[in-house]
Structure 1
Amino acid sequence: MILNLLFFVLSYLPTGVPNISGASTASTTNYLAVKKGYVMSYNGVEGRANWVGWTLQFSDLGSVERSNRFREDSDLPRQFKRIDHDDYRESGYDRGHLCNSEDRTSSEYLNEETFLMSNMIPQTPELNRGPFKFLEAYCRKLVLKKGQKLLIYSGGIGAKGRLTSGVPIPQYCWKAIYTPTEEIYVLFPNERTLEKNWNKYRVTKDRLEKMTGFQFP
């Protein structure tokens, strides 16, 4: 009942994505950027997103091919630290999407938008191509097979070092997913050795809120 009420209220918001951190365009470390296909809180000092939020429904999924056009986000304020695709070169880390490209295949523009480097965090290949990817596929399955509409948040927390370009490497990568029937909170270690089953990394809402400092719906 509560989840149904949540989705009813969300349908009347401009983006359908609640602001979980109080992000605003007046902040340099919690800067609110509203894109066509997702909403973002960006840390202009560190040069990485705090979180990215988006909705996922049947109309978002189409036949558009993956863009692979990684590029700097020129819409961010000039004084902010901006990341370019070369900042990850020879780092051993993937340019890990937060809002993944497969969730935005209804138009070329929306797919290309997911390749803005502000929407990336350094992820180990084992995470990015493993349980993180499998969870993304599960979300799309809920949309395609069950006709559900989802609300999704994703981000990285902590720092276990930096790329040579100065980009922080998150210690954990997380997701919060809301469906009409359940809430899913997941906390992945950004490591080389991982379980393939994403369910192994489920946590409670309280724990994820304490770890991230965000207030989820």
Structure 2
Amino acid sequence: MTQFFKYLTIAGASTLLLLFSSCSKKQERHEAIETSLSVQNHAGSRHNISADEQSFFLRLSAPKAWTLSLKGDASSWLSLDVKQGEASPSYSVIVKVKQNTSKSERVALITLHSGAEDKTITLVQSAEGVSISPNSGLTSSQAADAQRIEIPALRNTKQDLFIVHRTQDGTVNYSLEYSLERYHPRWVAFVFDNTTAAERWKTRTNAWRWDPQVPSQYSTIDFFRNSGYSRGHMVASSDRYYSKDANEQTFYYTNMSPQRQEHNGGVWARLEDMVQKWGRRASFRETLYVVKGGTIDDAQIEPRRLGGKMVIPKYYYMALVVKKPNGEYHGLAFWTEHRNYAQTFPLRSLTISIDELERRTGIDFFPNLADDIETQVEAEQPENNWSGI
């Protein structure tokens, strides 16, 4: 998705992800879904957007067949790619907004109708020349870091921390957005380039500790013991061998996800190994941009919370963009269920486009790429651009 990206979620309890077609019959049965509308990155029902032309997601869930309607003349400048659907705990709708060239703000009311309930969200687009910073609330250093190519669009709520870890020489090691409400990273992001792809320190440090950038009251250190889940690195220890402190930082608990070991040490490890081979092959990349995560929204987590607080994802994903030595860009994404896969399971079967991954997660990946490049790489299928799959 290009330019400014925001999304909405209607919270609900379910075990079905509508856009993932291989769910079992058992998975297709879900509990009653409450119809409630909230803006994930702003409290309340009013949402401000800039005057720019832009696209973003609405994410909704509904207990019965649903429709979306626009009030007033909003249809002249705002469009929805889907306006109706069947009952679902999680569905993404693309909203496209034209540039506002007038000197007045304009307002759109989008109403969800499902059964006897209606829920309305208000979008207010600024007048021309009135700027809205998508990174308000960040320090100047954080705002600059948020413009790095690998960084997804930030949510910017009080419950979401944007964290950048640097090594002693100032190199950005990796970044993440951490949910204080869900005790889990929403995503982690890093790059392989000629500096970070080096293997000067190939010893696993096991430097387990709480993240010094997050208050200790949110510590998850004691959640994993005897839980039946492993401490699954999002940035793998083996992703970061270029220095000792780079490897040590991968052992922060904010970088951990509760994974079943058969997934963590199985298909996930196979994917990580493939990405590392791409990242460390200078003939393959000038820079490889990597985003990883586990799903943490209500419809995409397991019923149990580790320690009563830390969510357990139902799905894990990776989003990759490579800048080739010849200047070309290519994109690829992976999507896995949180389960055991046969060792011979073809990894190519887990590939999807980044556009599809955005629709499933509600996250805008690589918004800092030039719009034409972003559009191209996010629509791509793997084809012949990624060796080994």
Flag structure 2 segments of 5+ consecutive residues without an equivalent: 1-143, 167-172, 324-328, 367-389
Percent of aligned positions with the same letter in both sequences?
A: 26
Work out whether residues 152 and 364 of structure 2, in 8 Å CA contact, stay in contact via their aligned partners in 1: yes
- Structure 2 counterpart SS, 1:83: coil
Give the Cα–Cα distance (whole angstroms) in 1 for the partners of residues 249 and 314 of structure 2. 26
- Output one character per residue of 1:27-51: Cα deviation in whole Å (capped at 9) or x when no partner: 3332211111111101011111001
| Cα 1:194–1:167 shift into 2, 3 Å | farther
| Cα 1:90–1:141 shift into 2, 3 Å | same
1:32 pairs with one of 149, 152, 162: 162
2:208 pairs with one of 70, 90, 94: 70
Give the Cα–Cα distance (whole angstroms) in 2 for the partners of residues 142 and 19 of structure 1. 20
Name the amino acid aligned to 1:201.
L
Aligned-residue Cα RMSD (Å) equals 2.1
Query: Partner of 2:83 in structure 1?
Result: none
How big is the shift at 1:20?
1.7
1:216 pairs with one of 346, 365, 369: 365
Q: Which one has the bigger strand percentage?
A: 2
How big is the shift at 1:111?
0.4
Give the Cα–Cα distance (whole angstroms) in 1 for the partners of residues 342 and 308 of structure 2. 26
1:159 pairs with one of 288, 301, 314: 301
- Structure 2 counterpart SS, 1:129: helix
| Cα 1:17–1:97 shift into 2, 3 Å | farther
Query: Partner of 1:207 in structure 2?
Result: 356
| Cα 1:163–1:14 shift into 2, 3 Å | closer
TM-score (norm: length of structure 2):
0.48
1:83 pairs with one of 220, 238, 241: 220
- Structure 2 counterpart SS, 1:210: helix
Work out whether residues 126 and 194 of structure 1, in 8 Å CA contact, stay in contact via their aligned partners in 2: no
Q: Which one has the bigger helix percentage?
A: 1
How big is the shift at 1:137?
1.4
Runs of 4+ in 1 over 3 A off after TM superposition: 13-19, 193-197
Name the amino acid aligned to 1:212.
T
Give the Cα–Cα distance (whole angstroms) in 1 for the partners of residues 191 and 354 of structure 2. 19
Give the Cα–Cα distance (whole angstroms) in 1 for the partners of residues 243 and 293 of structure 2. 24
Query: Partner of 1:182 in structure 2?
Result: 330
- Output one character per residue of 1:173-217: Cα deviation in whole Å (capped at 9) or x when no partner: 111011135311111101134564322211222321122111112
Work out whether residues 150 and 191 of structure 2, in 8 Å CA contact, stay in contact via their aligned partners in 1: no
Look at both structures and tell me which one has the larger radius of gyration over its CA atoms. 2
Flag structure 1 segments of 5+ consecutive residues without an equivalent: 1-12
How big is the shift at 1:59?
2.4
Give the Cα–Cα distance (whole angstroms) in 2 for the partners of residues 94 and 203 of structure 1. 26
